[in-house]
Amino acid sequence: MSSVAVVQAGDMPDPSVRNLLDQDTLKWVFVGGKGGVGKTTCSSIVSILLASVRSSVLVISTDPAHNLSDAFQQRFTKFPTLVKGFSNLYAMEIDPKVENDDFGNEGMEGFISELTNAIPGVDEAMSFAEMLKLVQTMDYSVVVFDTAPTGHTLRLLQFPATLEKGLEKMMDLKNRFGGLINQATRLFGLGDELNEDAMLGRIEGMKDVIEQVNRQFKDPDLTTFVCVCIPEFLSLYETERLVQELAKFEIDAHNIIINQVIFDEEAVESKLLKARVKMQQKYVDQFHMLYDDFNITKLPLLPEEVCGVQALQNFSKHFLAPYTPTLKRGSVEELEERVSTLKSSLQIAEAELDRVRKGKQVA
């Protein structure tokens, strides 16, 4: 049974992704948002956390600029590969275009190429359908999608309609040129390799698969979408657009991850950082106002990249419990740290001043 959080009067949803782990009926988890907000890191960590409570997890990158390999520091291909350090977590990276060898021969490849040029987006739709057919033959407990930036993701949700157009185009071509194509294939000795019925069946088969999966995508017990963003205006705007589109496609979304947050409680001395804290807080407040029934998870801005399994696992704790700054402003520990930092900075500045003075004397 779905464990989607119900907000009661005066209650706020849990500020974590624990609800995803508790919802044991989930089959498809999409992670998406604007480019550059940390979707791959978040999808990688969500898959790691799910692997701790599920029998088998597959994380798939559908972003043309694949970053899963960089996140896990391991090479992945278009076939599921076991992630090092795990016994039940697999990863794969697919290209959102038709693979030539997927269609078996040059004749069909050329025909499909013409078709995909005639219908924008049908190549991605067919590639996605091929991938879903592959995934459905495997027995994964849950599949996590590391999606491309918002625009590409919204196209992904339109794939059933895109394939419908492709099918109509094929039917039109068959009605207009079916006899001519058959004559040409016999003339050049291609036999049934370029038979229009075979091609039509291929697209119909993919359409059936994607329509079946599309029904699952609209079931909140089976599918959810995790929106990743940063506390800035454009990201807030993209998230709002994404949430509205998801509602239009009847796809459940009740988790928002706000990444790269500079917490006001942190010991921040830089004027630039203080200005960023103030700016970020304005948008964090807007997120909470707009999405008061969402599970909103805030993640801290780190001084280093989160790369490798160990780093991902270390950072995953912030997905399950609210981040607490190690040093709170005004505490004894924070003041001692600040004094130590100032002394160190003073020593460096004095050494630099001494070096410059000696250089002038030599000149």
Distance CA 242, CA 311 (A): 29
SS3 of residue 146 by DSSP:
strand
Enter the tokens of residue 45: 């960590």
Roughly how many angstroms between the first and final C-alpha of the chain, as a whole number?
80
Distance CA 30, CA 213 (A): 13
Distance CA 51, CA 67 (A): 20
- Angle between helices 122-136 and 196-217 in degrees, nearest 10: 70
Up-side HSE of residue 76: CA atoms within 13 Å toward CB?
28
What are the Cα distances from residue 278, in Å, to 7, 37, 273, 283, 298? 29, 19, 9, 9, 16
- Residue 63 is a catalytic residue: yes
Distance CA 251, CA 220 (A): 7
- 309, 72 Cβ separation under 8 angstroms: yes
Which amino acid makes up residue 146?
D
Binding site, annotated residues for ATP: 34-41, 232, 259
Q: Which has the closest alpha carbon to 199: 176, 180, 173, 179?
A: 173
**What ranges in 188-327 are assigned the alpha helix state H?**
196-217, 233-248, 271-290, 309-315, 317-320
Q: Which has the closest alpha carbon to 38: 67, 73, 74, 69?
A: 67
**14, 22, 63, 139: the active-site residue:** 63
Distance CA 212, CA 354 (A): 73
- CA atoms 213, 158, 258, 86: torsion sign: positive
Q: Which has the closest alpha carbon to 64: 40, 28, 90?
A: 40
Known catalytic residues? 63
